[in-house]
Chain A
Amino acid sequence: MGNMYPKIRGDNKVVRIYMDHGATTRPDPEVVNAMLPFFNELFGNASSLHTFGQEAAQALICSRKTVADFLGAEPEEIIFTSGGTESDNLALKGIAYLKKNKGKHIITSVIEHPAILNTCKYLDEIGYRITYVPVDDQGLVDPADVEDAVTDNTILISIMHANNEIGTIQPIKEISAIAHEHGVLVHTDAVQSVGKMPVNMDDLGVDMLSISAHKIYGPKGVGALYVRKGTRLLGLSQGGSHEMKKRAGTENIPGIVGMAKAVELAEQRLEGDTKYLENLRDTMIRKILDSIPESYLNGHPTKRLCNNVHVRFSYVEGESLLMMLDMKGVAVSTGSACSSKSLEPSHVLAALGIIPEKIHGNLRITLGHENTMDEVDYVVENLIDIVKKLRAMSPIAPKD
């Protein structure tokens, strides 16, 4: 559909507005530049004893320290992985397998990312018991529900730091405190929150935390699992003694170096980016809700990722909205049933208790620091027209 992008404002410029930063981000040029030498002259295997290997090993050590510092952790607490999904799998299965004789009960929430939900489903199939705590209509987990679910057999609690669809930020600190009172380990999937709010291990109090590089202007295919010192878990891939023997396989040095650079930039930009994005977000939400009748914000008004705008419109369907915006050069996403391979609406929106008729017309707009207020205005203007056009076509929309 590349040839369908419109030209706007007579300046003959092709519009390409990317507002899907919850899906992935454009790698920062500094990240790409940091990676390039490790594809070229610095190609050594970090396990080799010669100079080529030691150059790679040195890069690995520095990168691990950068990521650890960013999280307020120690380097030996960082395990590099292939991304958020692998980190989540390693955390859940690594603890479940190791502690199977202590207990087989895991607590998670109904709105987790599929990397957690489907890992839990798998563990359920092989004999573990999973409790899924509910959320309220703004997507918040109640720590009291987590505490109520704890039993003598509970070995792990995994609740995401911020939701990938609606951006609701969970009370992880309180959940950690509850877990530790009961002697239970806590994991959090922080893939969406890192780089958009402070994420500090001592502050959050979690025992494990998953992050991914490509959500913070880093490369795809690399992430990390933080594992608190003293927390034992079983590695899932057997082989050499890489990554504290928790993750065998030659390290992805270009990816890891890119992730470290992305983390370094995220740290420098955190304060400025957060303020900038909150302003864009709140302006966009206000303009949409003010100018489009029967439009609603999904998620929490304030306990919300600084870049997340998640709205729904009655009488229209999300995939049609998404496609019409795409034809205007704007990239966003939707949790509508029609957009998914399963044709099921998003489990997150269903968990909020939105009635089925109203669940279909939703859009997730996730902003990034490259977006501007002009782009926000362009998207809102087009969205107003598109909703109007689709409602005129909809048999269930009230007539004007």
Chain B
Amino acid sequence: MYSGKVMDHFSNPRNVGEIEDADGVGEVGNPVCGDMMTIYIKVDNGKLTNIKFKTFDCGAAIATSSMITEMAMGMTIEQALEITRDSVADALDGLPPVKLHCSNLAADGLHAAIEDYLKKKEAGN
């Protein structure tokens, strides 16, 4: 039911973990519903220099979390904000229809981390 790329990212997820001095943290989902994702970002000169994630969810959600960290690494904030659920799903050679919301979670998580960074930056100024 899952593509080879999904299975690759699920069985060997990239960028798992936390960043202690993260510039932005995005937390989306709800453990009651069985899906929760936290994304940590480091930003330098407007570019994402490090991204880590932690996910409590199904195989598809772990794969989309891993994929989005790989996609966004090195991107500018503007570019990263343009990553959508569809682009994550496409990068994984598609997801089963019932699992499309998992890619939503990943995109939302990344965007939430960036918003958190921008908010902190604004407060800092």
Q: Which residues of A contact B (CB under 8 A)?
A: 1, 4, 315-317, 319-320, 323-324, 327, 336-339, 341, 343, 345, 356-357, 359-360, 392-397
Q: What's the least CB distance linking A6 to chain B, in Å? A: 11
B124 within 8 A of A: no
B58 within 8 A of A: yes
> Nearest 3 pairs between A and B by C-beta?
A338-B58, A360-B34, A395-B54
Contact: B56 with A338, CB < 8 Å?
no
A341: chain B residues at CB < 8 Å are 98
B36: chain A residues at CB < 8 Å are 394-396
Q: What's the least CB distance linking A177 to chain B, in Å? A: 41
Given known contacts A336-B34, A341-B98, A343-B98, is B10 in contact with A395 (CB within 8 Å)? no
A393: chain B residues at CB < 8 Å are 13, 16, 54-56, 62
Closest to B38 in A: A395
Contact: B31 with A357, CB < 8 Å?
yes
Q: Which residues of B contact A (CB under 8 A)?
A: 7, 10-11, 13, 16, 27, 31-38, 54-62, 98
Contact: B59 with A320, CB < 8 Å?
yes
Assembled-state Cα–Cα distance A337/B99 (Å): 11
Contact: A317 with B98, CB < 8 Å?
no
Q: What's the least CB distance linking A207 to chain B, in Å? A: 40
With A359-B34, A393-B16, A395-B38 given, can you name 16 additional A-B contacts, CB distance below 8 Å? A4-B7, A316-B56, A317-B56, A320-B62, A337-B33, A338-B58, A345-B34, A356-B32, A356-B34, A357-B32, A393-B54, A394-B36, A394-B56, A395-B56, A396-B31, A397-B56
Closest to A397 in B: B56
Q: What's the least CB distance linking B15 to chain A, in Å? A: 11
Contact: A394 with B7, CB < 8 Å?
no
B10 CB contact (under 8 Å) in A315, A323, A343, A345: A323
A319: chain B residues at CB < 8 Å are 58-59
Q: What's the least CB distance linking B71 to chain A, in Å? A: 19
Provide 6 A-B residue pairs closer than 8 Å at the C-beta atoms, listed in order of the A residue. A320-B59, A327-B7, A327-B11, A336-B34, A356-B33, A395-B27
